[in-house]
A and B are shown apart, each in its own frame.
Chain A
Amino acid sequence: MNSLVFVESAEGKIKKTSLEAVAFAHAMGGNVTAIAIGQTEQAELENLGKYGAKKVLHVADDKLNQGVIQAYAAVLAKAFQDEQADVLVLADSSLGTPVGARVAAKLDASLASNVVQLPDTSSGFVVKRSIYTGKAFANVSLTKPKKVIGIKKNAAEVKEVGSSASVTPFQVSLSDADFSTKITSSEKATGEVLLPEANIVVSGGRGMKGPEHWGSIEELAKTLGAATGCSKPVSDMGWRPHHEHVGQTGVKVAPQLYIAVGISGAIQHLAGVNSSKCIVVVNKDPEAPFFKAADYGIVGDAFDILPKLNDAIKAAK
């Protein structure tokens, strides 16, 4: 079984979730070819060999420095065929998931996203997907010869298994139609830990009382190297930007540690955090439903606990 892995980068660096995709493909066995599209540092590309890629294809085309869904799908479909791969593996993301869907439709491949562990190939090709926003799983057989799978964060462990790989330029002639969507500009938080990929998330709810109190959330996040998140009403009221909103209708996170402060734990919020390894809840109400979903809990006032916790973590470092 040979696989092609689509790797995404941000500011020239390969994303951690894409390294997981390479590790996932390596663990499936067979030859692994990685493909990067647009500006990516050469050393980063070579490094993909360490995580299991035999070969790395690089599509260096200035028109592809931004993620144009159709054009990316056209590139991946071409590489999928040229490399005679059986499976395209990609990390689910705001780009990967829609691109994967188009590739599957182009090549008549079986498609599954939100895959959480390696496929069971003992009879056929069965993947386990997260469904009902983390409340359940579905085991599904992918029966077509070609398959496209999107993996969820933490589906594979990134470890060094080889040495650096050689990078081959890859060219595709794209049509104007592939660029019928024009990206005119973008805005992106830079230099921060991005929420969907963070290992630790510190999240605040309505219990934080107002945007002026977010300093203590940010302090703690800084100490932990964490991303900041929030509940839906917090972003609805404009206390925090929309891309920090965690839950059923927002970002689904899967960090090692999720710290929820002043969030009641409504089922729609829990749906976005139930893949976290460890959950800490700070709430002044001992009856807050979030405690039932937590590993550790503190009943107390956020404004008292946050600075104390920050100091204690600093002291323990």
Chain B
Amino acid sequence: MKILVCISHVPDTTSKINFVENNTRLDTNGVQFIIGPYDDYALARAVELKETSGATITVLNVGQADTEPTIRKALAIGADDAIRVNAEPTDSFFVASQIAAQAKEGGYDLILMGRESIDYNSGAVHGIVGEMLGIPSISPVMTLDIEGTTAKLAREIEGGKEYLEVNLPFVAGCQEPIAEWKIPNMRGIMSARTKPLKVVEPVSTDSGVKLETYELPPAKGAVKMISADNVQELVSLLKNEAKVI
């Protein structure tokens, strides 16, 4: 089985977000970049499937040269080789077009990624890739098991989950508890240095989405503290001041 795992390279979840260049670029000063947490779940599940049924894992990232440490980390976790599409990942359609182009060439049985990236939160790439390749796309996926050419999955729905069956190949947008995040070990880190990382140029597309500006939410006012002996005051503030109950 050939698995393609698509990973985003995103600011660590604790990062403070600020913008520069007239609010058109992220201020990367002091920001640490990681594998998108949802993509990390997808990768972890792929590694488990490899361990149980002997798959090969190719990891793909659409990004510029600065994403290579993130890609190497995915190789250290257990991917066999990597592709970097040398371009800035501007929007879902652009990224999905790059993934679809690589997927057509590679002929994968399974394409995994996170349900969304935590920078743009679109949750759209899996759907667009599925449509471009004419195969099913399922998201957000909570469990994934494969027997032969059939997969059994659970998908989260509001307030519960539904269970599905689908034949390979398909695209899945993953989330917990599909697998536990894996931390690379020393051997993984050593071997990752020499695993193949291919750099390819992007295919051209017109996504019809253009960034104008970024902005930050207005600063929050100060918290009002209420004594533990006076919860009635809280209730009256919620009723009369905040008007939320």
Contacts and interface: CB of A to CB of B under 8 A. Distances in A.
B131 A141 contact: no
Contact of B128 (A69, A105, A132, A298): A105
Interface string B213-229: 11111001101111110
Interface string B153-171: 0011111111111110010
Given A257-B238, A277-B244, A180 B136 contact: yes
Contacts of B122: 101, 111-114
Interface in A81-132: 92-95, 97-102, 104-106, 108-114, 126, 129-132
Interface in B102-131: 118-128, 130-131
Contact of A104 (B119, B121, B128, B210): B128
B75 to A, nearest CB: 23
Interface stretch (B11-19, B44-52, B183-191, B192-200): B11-19
Contacts of B175: 249
B33 to A, nearest CB: 13
A242 interface: yes
Contacts of B221: 295
B79 interface: no
A308 B231 contact: yes
Interface residue range, chain A? 35 or more
Interface in B52-100: 91-93, 96
The residue among A104, A192, A268 with the most chain B CB atoms within 10 A of its own CB is: A104
B interface SS class:
mixed
Interface residue tally of chain B, by bracket?
Answer: 35 or more
Contacts of A197: 158
A183 B163 contact: yes
Interface of A: 10, 66-67, 69-70, 73, 92-95, 97-102, 104-106, 108-114, 126, 129-144, 177, 180-189, 192, 194-197, 200, 224, 242-243, 248-249, 256-257, 267-268, 271, 274, 277-278, 280-281, 291-301, 304-305, 308-309, 312-313, 315-316
Given A143-B208, A180-B167, 15 more contacts: A67-B157, A73-B131, A94-B158, A101-B126, A111-B92, A132-B119, A136-B215, A136-B217, A180-B166, A181-B164, A182-B165, A185-B162, A185-B163, A249-B37, A277-B244
19 contacts: A73-B131, A97-B123, A98-B137, A102-B131, A105-B93, A111-B209, A112-B209, A135-B17, A141-B211, A144-B208, A180-B136, A183-B162, A187-B161, A192-B159, A195-B158, A249-B37, A292-B223, A298-B226, A316-B235
Interface of B: 11, 13-14, 17, 19, 37-38, 91-93, 96, 118-128, 130-132, 134, 136-140, 142, 155-167, 170, 173, 175-177, 206-217, 220-221, 223-228, 231-232, 234-239, 242, 244-245
